[in-house]
Structure 1
Amino acid sequence: MKMALTAVVLGLMASSMSVAAETPIYGSQLMTQQERIEHRNKLRAAKTVEERDQVRLQHHEQMQLRAKEKGVTLPDAPPAMGGGQGRGMVGVGGMGPGPGRGANR
C-alpha cells in the first residue's frame, strides 16, 4: 500500500514537472534555450501566485521590448495569470473501498 502511494505521488510530480516544461513561454521564439530555462526556474522559485504573476508580467514587458527592437509583432495581452496547478484529478475517487465496493455495505 505504501509503495503504491509513493508510486502515485512520484508519478504526479513527474507529470507536473513535464507540464511546466511544456508550457509555452510568451515570446519564446525571441529567447535562447538558456533564457527559457532561466525563466522557468524563476517561475518555479516564486513562492506565491502573485510572485509568479509578477515574474510573468516583467517577462512580458521584456519580450515586448525585444520584439519591438527586432521588428517582430507579439500579442499585446499578457498570458493568462494565476493558472497555478489546476484543479487536480476532479471526479476521481481515492484509494479506499468507497461506497458499495467494500465489505461494509
Structure 2
Amino acid sequence: MQTKFITALVIGLLLIGSSSARGPWRASESNTRGWQLMSPEERIEHQAKIRSFTKLEDCRSYQVSHHQLMEERAQQRGLAMAGGGHDICDHLKTEKPKP
C-alpha cells in the first residue's frame, strides 16, 4: 500500500515538473546567473521581472545590470561566476522571416 502511494507521488511530481517546463519561464539554479547569491525574495522578484518584459531592449538592460550585480557579489565573497547559459531575453527576439 505504501509503495503504491510513493510510486504515485513520484509519478505525480515528474508530471508536474514536465508540464511546468512548457509553462512560463521559471528562475532556477540551472538558468539564473548568481542564483546562490540571491535571497529567496530576490529570486521571486527576478523571475517576475523577467516575465514582465515586453521589449528586448528593456530585458537586455536588466540582464546586464543583474549580471553586474551578481559579479560584484561574487567578487566580494571570493567566488567565480559561471558564464554562458540560457538567454533570459531570448523569448523577446523577433523571428527572422524565412526566405
Same-fold status (TM-score > 0.5): yes
Q: Contact 2:27–2:43 (CA<8 Å) still a contact in 1? A: no
1:41 pairs with one of 48, 55, 66: 48
1:21 aligns with 2:4: no
Query: Aligned partners of 2:87, 2:61: CA distance in 1, in Å?
Result: 12
Q: Which has the larger radius of gyration?
A: 1
> TM-score with structure 2 length normalisation?
0.59
Unpaired segments of 5 or more residues in structure 1? 1-11, 87-105
Give the equivalent residue in structure 2 for 1:59.
Answer: 66
Displacement after TM superposition at 1:44 (Å): 1.5
Query: Aligned partners of 2:70, 2:51: CA distance in 1, in Å?
Result: 19
Displacement after TM superposition at 1:85 (Å): 6.5
Q: How many residues align?
A: 73
* Cα 1:81/1:28, change in 2 over 3 Å: closer
Q: Once superposed, which parts of structure 1, at least 4 consecutive aligned residues long, lie more than 2 Å away?
A: 12-16, 75-82
Q: Greater relative contact order (Cα 8 A, min sep 6): structure 1 or 2?
A: 2
> TM-score with structure 1 length normalisation?
0.56
Identity within the alignment, %? 26
Unpaired segments of 5 or more residues in structure 2? 1-18, 94-99
- 5 Å-filtered alignment, 1:50-89, equals 50-75=57-82, 80=87, 82-84=89-91
* Root mean square deviation of aligned Cα: 3.1
Q: Contact 1:60–1:78 (CA<8 Å) still a contact in 2? A: no
* Cα 1:85/1:14, change in 2 over 3 Å: farther
